Amino acid sequence: PAIDYEKINILILNSLYNKINPVLIINKVDLLSQDELNEIKSNLEYLSKIKIPVFYISTYENIGMEELKDFLKDNVTAFGGPSGVGKSSILNLLQDSRELKTGETSKRLRAGKHTTRDSRLLTLPSGGFVIDTPGFSSVDLPPTEDAQELISLFPEFNLGEGCKFNNCVHINEPQCGIKKAVEDGIIPKERYEFFKRCYEKSKNEIWNRYK
């Protein structure tokens, strides 16, 4: 499936909301040209600034798997993502076994079929556990209670630079430190635009429930 950057950002928000350290794995890099891989790396460059590790791997050509094994050792890690990205194939290689059923993606739809029906806890030979979870086609924003809780899920907003107003939500307020950071290139514009979309959607669909 094509990379859905919006979905990646929402998954990261959910991880941080639930106090889980997010890690991003881009699988099937063997299918990419060098220019395509460079474009993806450029689009995800902001993750290094908020200390989220990114692994570029291929289960087909066994690229990057040893580094991933070392990183996951002695941890409990849940794998989540859309159907067809190769979660079960990754977990089979991490275990050095073929315990999980894998499926093919549809070339016409550029999507995968659901091969994992239930979550399953698996032991890693090197120590630790991994959890295979069913694929999905959509993911919701975390149920934050207000704007400040949503803002707390954007680590790059913690710049130490004050806004004019203590309760600034970084949308329409004057002398906003976050908006200035975006203008200065410190915070990527795409990331800030994602925050604004989350703010509007949460305001309309989630926060109204608490009123």
Nearest to 72 by CA among 10, 122, 116, 133: 122
Residue 106 has pLDDT above 50, yes or no: no
Across 74-90, average pLDDT = 88
Across 78-83, average pLDDT = 87
What is the pLDDT confidence band of residue 32, given thresholds at 50, 70 and 90? very high
What is the pLDDT confidence band of residue 104, given thresholds at 50, 70 and 90? low
Residue 55 has pLDDT above 90, yes or no: yes
Burial category of 125 from C-beta neighbours within 10 Å (exposed 0-12, middle 13-18, buried 19 and up): exposed
Tell me the CATH class for 147-210. mainly alpha
> What is the pLDDT at residue 138?
83
Across 22-43, average pLDDT = 96
> What is the pLDDT at residue 84?
81
Instruction: Please state, in angstroms and rounded to a whole number, the distance separating the CA atoms of residues 138 and 153.
Output: 20
Q: Provide CATH 1.10.40.50 ranges for the chain.
A: 147-210
> What is the pLDDT at residue 159?
79
Contact 60, 30 (CB under 8 A): yes
Instruction: Please state, in angstroms and rounded to a whole number, the distance separating the CA atoms of residues 83 and 130.
Output: 17
- Considering Cα of 166, then 168, then 174, then 178, what sign does the dihedral take? positive
All residues at 6 or more sequence positions from 82 whose CB lies less than 8 Å from its CB, including other chains: 1, 4, 7, 111, 112, 135, 136, 137
What is the pLDDT confidence band of residue 87, given thresholds at 50, 70 and 90? confident
Contact 206, 200 (CB under 8 A): no
Per DSSP, 75 falls in state S
State pLDDT tens for residues 107-165.
554 544 545 557 788 999 989 999 988 877 788 999 999 999 999 999 999 876 689 99
Percent of residues, the chain, with pLDDT higher than 90: 65
Residue 15 has pLDDT above 90, yes or no: yes
Q: Provide CATH 3.40.50.300 ranges for the chain.
A: 5-132
What is the pLDDT confidence band of residue 200, given thresholds at 50, 70 and 90? very high
**What 3-state class would DSSP assign to 150?**
helix
CATH superfamily of 5-132: P-loop containing nucleotide triphosphate hydrolases (3.40.50.300)
User: To the nearest whole number, what is the mean pLDDT of the chain?
Assistant: 87
> What six digits make up the tokens of 165?
């107003």
> What is the pLDDT at residue 7?
93
Q: What is the CA radius of gyration of the chain?
A: 19
> What is the pLDDT at residue 71?
96
Phi, psi of 97, rounded to the nearest 5 degrees: -150, 180
Percent of residues, the chain, with pLDDT higher than 70: 87
